[in-house]
Chain A
């Protein structure tokens, strides 16, 4: 099946308390869902990197998972995102990315970010106030690696002298790059860097819409050259469940979606409660977050435009509205990644057969 628009899938590899699967089954069933998605003509599938978040995200070694996915799929683009750059040595990020790009036949898309968990920073021995400077420096090193065979770098955190890093990625100059964008400023930074902006699942739509406008305005002011792998695009993650019967859609997915978003908003809570340098925007959002934590309710999440639940026609209308309002790539978290695999597969088929072929590109 050919879909007219690139529609992707998004996974955290969740294991909710009401799911009686073990981790092995979770990983195998997810790989099988990706094989099905590949056959159904989905454009890509993305997997996050999180550590020490039992239940919520068991994807702590995404490059290993993606290696298996590369071997089992043929067309699916493989979203390696978000990799929090401060947790890793940039040379190792480059090597893993290039290896994955080679074994997948150039199907990798790479998303980078700063990471937001104090526990992760603490464990990996990185001062959280260095998050911005480390991310920037790592990105410089990655870009130098993409541009030329020998890397020289003298910075605050890393010194590299005449280093020949191998292998090199198949996609030249590099795989498509995405930047995790939460604060409005980070959307502007993404535009100036000439990379796509990837909006996570935890912001209400009215904010994302504003961010897209800022991204496009920043891009129009300083357009980077079109040749060097730049991409002007906004991707957005959205929770979705689709069923022929809209009541059934809600009944089946309510628990999973409320569990996932409750957890998600909990994960970001430590940021809000303590003041970390460089994360001002989270503080401003704190009152809204406190509100969600007490009312993570399917209806509220739908009203905020964070999830879409219903029959094919409802899902089509809502997805089309996001496309028309400026989203270039939709990353669907089917069943919020917390429903039984059989139900996820049903929704994948239904979306592929009845919704995706009817989505239209935004008129210019």
Chain B
């Protein structure tokens, strides 16, 4: 099997690529990214390509499976165009769906799309645990989740029209580990954190190696559709910080929101204010489908994930 991985220099690609190449039946892995991944292996080759490049679509048609990790997660990575919402949407939504369309047209047997638990949003009326059939409801103004939802909607349409391609959508909660987004690490260690309403909202996270494991399982098993990925038990942000020995100053969430918004206007190094908006409510996933159909069991609990992240 020949596998194409987009976003080969992305955080999740680091743990995924070695796992992938160790699987039986994998002849070759091609990675594409704008930046070098620094990874090497006799059966791995890498191309410097943009997701929007027609060459990327042509490449997809030549493979037996497509694993799509590439996504503008942090807008600050767009540099001068960080405030250009239409540009971000074009890369994320148009880029992803064009690639999927090319794969489906060429009847590529498997497409794995890395989505996110943020497609559910954090809302006060959510049930204690969300299963995959929960309607998707991003936090308004949170660009990352808006784009993830738009891509998922497109995938659902493509999947209905192209039964020869099996589309798998993975919805991991916050991914932590040695290669985690620096932004998430900062949330855990920053001297200032949010004082959240009582009872404090519960969140989860998932270890990057466990997500890589899920991608490999999705490649090997005859499954399709969405899968939640998260480690139990649900925890509060404070519990995680306390576990790591970081207490810091807890500011009320609305103050923090205002500061965040100001910073977003002043410096390109700060993220989209939408990232904070979801923090006021719980977001806990029901991962039974992944356990039953993929045979997936997360190996690290949220505390261990957080410890791993700080070691990276």
Contacts and interface: CB of A to CB of B under 8 A. Distances in A.
Given A226-B289, A227-B169, A171 B127 contact: no
A228 B169 CA distance: 12
A185 interface: no
A230 B133 contact: yes
A175 interface: yes
B24 interface: no
A176 B226 CA distance: 17
A6 to B, nearest CB: 6
Interface in B143-165: 149, 152-153, 156-157, 159
A171 B137 contact: yes
Contacts of A77: 125
Interface string A198-214: 00000000000000000
Given A172-B153, A226-B226, A228-B156, A75 B135 contact: no
Interface string A148-180: 100000000000000000000011111110000
Interface string B70-97: 0000000000000000000000000000
A118 to B, nearest CB: 35
Contacts of A175: 135
B149 A172 contact: yes
Contacts of B137: 106, 170-172
Contacts of A105: 123-125
Contacts of B225: 225-227
B46 interface: no
- Which of B127, B128, B135, B149 lies at the interface centre, i.e. has the most chain A CB atoms within 10 A of its CB? B135
Contacts of A43: 125, 127
B136 interface: yes
A147 interface: yes
Nearest to A194: B133
Contact of A227 (B123, B124, B132): B132
A55 interface: no
A173 B289 contact: no
A74 B124 contact: yes
A80 interface: no
Given A106-B135, A226-B226, A173 B156 contact: yes
Interface in A216-242: 225-232
A77 B125 CA distance: 7
B123 A6 contact: no
A130 B283 CA distance: 44
A324 interface: no
B96 to A, nearest CB: 16
B125 A75 contact: yes
Interface in A3-22: 4, 6
B135 A171 contact: yes
Contact of A231 (B133, B149, B157): B133
A228 B159 CA distance: 11
A173 B135 contact: yes
B139 to A, nearest CB: 10
- Which of A76, A173, A230 lies at the interface centre, i.e. has the most chain B CB atoms within 10 A of its CB? A173
Given A147-B157, A172-B153, A173-B156, A229 B123 contact: no
Given A147-B157, A172-B149, A172-B153, A229 B133 contact: yes
Contacts of B226: 226-227
Contact of B132 (A44, A226, A232): A226
A106 B123 contact: yes
A80 to B, nearest CB: 14
Contact of A2 (B128, B140, B149): B128
A75 B289 contact: no
Interface string A105-118: 11100000000000
Nearest to B224: A225
B199 to A, nearest CB: 8
Interface string A47-83: 0000000000000000000000000001111000000
B5 to A, nearest CB: 23
Interface of A: 2, 4, 6, 43-44, 74-77, 105-107, 147-148, 170-176, 225-232
8 contacts: A106-B121, A147-B157, A148-B157, A170-B140, A172-B136, A226-B133, A228-B156, A229-B135
Given A107-B125, A172-B136, A227-B225, 16 more contacts: A76-B125, A106-B121, A107-B123, A172-B137, A172-B152, A173-B135, A226-B132, A226-B133, A226-B225, A226-B226, A227-B156, A227-B159, A227-B169, A229-B135, A230-B133, A232-B133
The 4 closest A-B pairs by CB, nearest first: A171-B135, A172-B136, A106-B137, A75-B124
